């Protein structure tokens, strides 16, 4: 799943969004996260907060 897109972000290029989504996909794979679980939602929120504070 793509966590970041033009509808939920501002100021990112398509390439930057692709990079963020790639980072997210690596996290999902490495932690074995499954969509629609509390763990996935928590990790998504945590990663989104990190990105927002960069």
pLDDT of amino acid 14: 97
**CB-based contacts of 35: which residues, under 8 Å, 6+ apart?**
1
pLDDT of amino acid 1: 78
pLDDT of amino acid 50: 97
pLDDT of amino acid 7: 95
pLDDT tens, N- to C-terminus, the chain (54 residues) = 799 999 999 999 999 999 999 999 999 999 999 999 999 999 999 999 999 998
Token pair, residue 5, equals: 């897109």
Q: Could you tell me what percentage of the chain is helix, strand and coil, using 3-state DSSP and rounding each to the nearest 5?
A: 60, 0, 40
Domain spans of the chain, in order of start: 14-52
pLDDT of amino acid 8: 94
């Amino acid at each position: 799943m793509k966590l970041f897109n033009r509808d939920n972000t501002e100021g990112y290029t398509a390439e930057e969004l692709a990079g963020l989504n790639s980072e997210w996909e690596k996290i999902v794979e490495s932690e074995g996260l499954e969509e629609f679980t509390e763990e996935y939602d928590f990790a998504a929120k945590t990663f989104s907060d990190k990105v927002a504070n960069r």
